A and B are shown apart, each in its own frame.
Chain A
Amino acid sequence: MTFRARHLLGIEPLHPEEIRSILDLADTYADLNRRGAQAGKVLDGLTQINMFFEASTRTQASFELAGKRLGANVMNMGVQASSIKKGETLIDTALTLNAMRPDLLVVRHPHSGAANLLAEKVTCAVLNAGDGRHEHPTQALLDALTIRREKGRLHRLTVAICGDIAHSRVARSNILLLGKMENRIRLIAPPTLIPAGAADWGVEVHDDMAEGLKDADVVMMLRLQKERMDGAFIPSQREYYHRFGLDAEKLKAAKADAIVMHPGPMNRGVEIDGTLADDINRSVIQEQVEMGVAVRMAAMELLARNLRAAAGQEGTHV
């Protein structure tokens, strides 16, 4: 079963086989990129618009690079700067861009469900690059690829996700993906940063690092937004670091070969110890960035393929 959807809006609607097919293709691109070889120009002649309503250097750069490696014409729209300030709505901006006939629309937006809304209104393929605290599917896919390459499998692993889960789309997409692939998932955070009803997601919830990390194969750290101090989510950065920051000492509870992940950007000394983050024996943070490009190449290639198939059925040419 290959990935047949028109859009990539989230992990939720994906079948495990679809996830596997995206990861398999991404795997080949990862090897290709690593060898410095040229990828086939499968997006040649296609237009990709990156529409970011929220600033993001790394994700946007990753999508841009992925598109360019496959031969797409890539255009970046810094939407926060322009039209939104002039009172244009999300839909209007999207319809304007849609009129320029792009093939792939990569969207990041501060509100949950924004990518779903866009997908209803435009004719091109929509790739969700993060919507509010809902989903960030390519991040979960790149995390999955990293884990699969490091651990040799993507099932029956114990994965601890630690930090601000309540406000994290990365956590949601990862929980969905790792759950679909039959892994054991543990959430570790102070109760103020655990979303309501998380216990019903088929995960274990811990507020103690030693317990939560016990025998973990993978430790995923999440970024703590500085704003969280204002809303009385946590008392202070230093208490947070003391109780929930990952360092070599706390990591001892996990398996000896456990890997450490972080979606970036990191707050060294807030959620993770700087030395540990740079430890090439434990940290796979750089590899995650590398896999990001490969996964986005794969996702865009598959979406473009589906786009062509759909157009072929309608008897037109993309």
Chain B
Amino acid sequence: MTSAAGERGAGDARNPEGHHMSKLFTNARLIDPEAGRVMPGALLVEGGRIARLFDTPEPEGLQGAERLNCAGRFLAPGIVDIGVKVSEPGERHKESFRSAGQAAAAGGVTTMVTRPDTIPAIDSPEILEFVTRRANEAAPVRVRPMSALTKGRQGREMVEIGFMLDAGAVAFTDCDAVVEDTRVLGRCLSYARSLGALVIGHPQDPGLSRGAAATSGKFASLKGLPAVSPMAERMGLDRDLALVEMTGARYHADQITTARALPRLERAKAAGLDVSAGVSIHHLTLNEFDIGDYRTFFKVKPPLRAEDDRVAVVEAVASGLIDIISSMHTPQDEESKRLPFEEAASGAVALETLLPAALRLYHSGDMTLPQLFRALSLNPSKRLGLDTGRLAPGAPADLVLFDADAPFVLDRFKLRSKSKNTPFDGARLQGKVIGTWVGGVSVFGG
């Protein structure tokens, strides 16, 4: 199980010297999400791992180490992004492991935790092996695959959870296909528990959300869009949490995006259930009004919410109630977006915009940098049992160096993803990745 994609997948396999060379990042501002602080100092990498932290910007000695002057910029543990859709197998024209990996590296994402909602779904050890092989060949960053929970994501038969774990699956999810049959989900959770597997749910009442393209309310009604009540998320979460209580399984809600669901999550955590929750960067930085005149790049799942919900969810990430921020990177080609809003495909690419978009929350004063990286790097690593996501001696040297202030206007055609469906096209963003390292090896900039 430990020989999964990520361990071999990183650039170190292709650049074995990387392991033996030591690198000293000097004059950095180190973001330590575990300690919750930003510290001016330096960081030494040896053998692909973090060897030492210094509280002086230019430590003496260490003549053998290659010195990298960070010029006062921020150095943080690389982002661990749960829920990246790489469209292999099935739709390689939308995104491949190579293009997604390059986008990830450029965005400071050092581990992509990939989604199984491909064509076909990743629901057998054979398909998982194919994915792992492709990932190792093509992606410059670590790839940790997730498996479907049920065969074909049909919500009827359980996948071979044991074999999938052996083949390297880090979590089990049917993504946005909600397992409607509670008995099936209950059994999946129960079986997963016996193996300690993490199940990721998409809390959404399937009846209420059927056919919806927007969140119900004044905006959707005026635009005449079929809409779902924000209550559908709470109902979905309530059901899942009841089953978690029944089975004792490890559960993660992929996206909590409404204020109404938060007290339920809080109560479940207080009751000691093994639950966690995530939210996509889009739900933290955009609201339903951004859809404007039917702009399909803003069609995501669940749909963008009211501003009140966005604010509540930002606060929940800051307080730690919501554990994880992810990109929910979902490539779609131009054709599937160039349709009337109802018919257009859902999803947005976000690997490269995740960090600059997240920094909007830092610049607005809603979150500190350690809080952001707790949700971007530390918590996802912890939840998946990975040793990344920390700035601590012994941890893999998966690092991102960035300038938090550098302003730019995003041009979607400059994205490295094959698909260009970003809602941030033409947006003014602040924060640029300067370099990304995986296992101490540079995979971008530097």
Contact = CB atoms under 8 A, between A and B. Distances in A.
Nearest to A135: B224
A122 interface: no
B221 interface: yes
B339 A131 contact: no
Contact of A112 (B216, B218, B224): B224
B221 A195 contact: yes
B218 A89 contact: no
Contacts of B340: 90, 109, 111-114, 117, 131-132
Interface in A81-133: 89-91, 109, 111-114, 116-117, 131-133
Interface in A193-215: 195-198, 200-201
Contacts of A109: 340
Given A89-B335, A90-B340, A91-B338, A113 B223 contact: yes
A172 interface: yes
Interface residues of A, number: 25
A134 interface: yes
Interface string B209-242: 0000000111111111101010000000000000
Contacts of A169: 224
Interface in B308-347: 335, 338-343
Interface string B338-366: 11111100000000000000000000000
A133 B223 CA distance: 8
B218 A117 contact: no
B294 interface: yes
Interface string A146-167: 0000000000000000000010
A116 B293 contact: yes
Contact of B223 (A117, A134, A166, A200): A134
B224 A172 contact: yes
Given A113-B293, A117-B340, A132-B340, A196 B229 contact: yes
Contacts of B225: 112-113, 132, 134
A196 B341 CA distance: 19
Most buried by B among A135, A197, A200: A197
A200 B294 contact: no
A201 B221 CA distance: 10
Contact of B294 (A113, A166, A172): A113
A198 B229 CA distance: 14
Interface of B: 216-225, 227, 229, 293-294, 335, 338-343
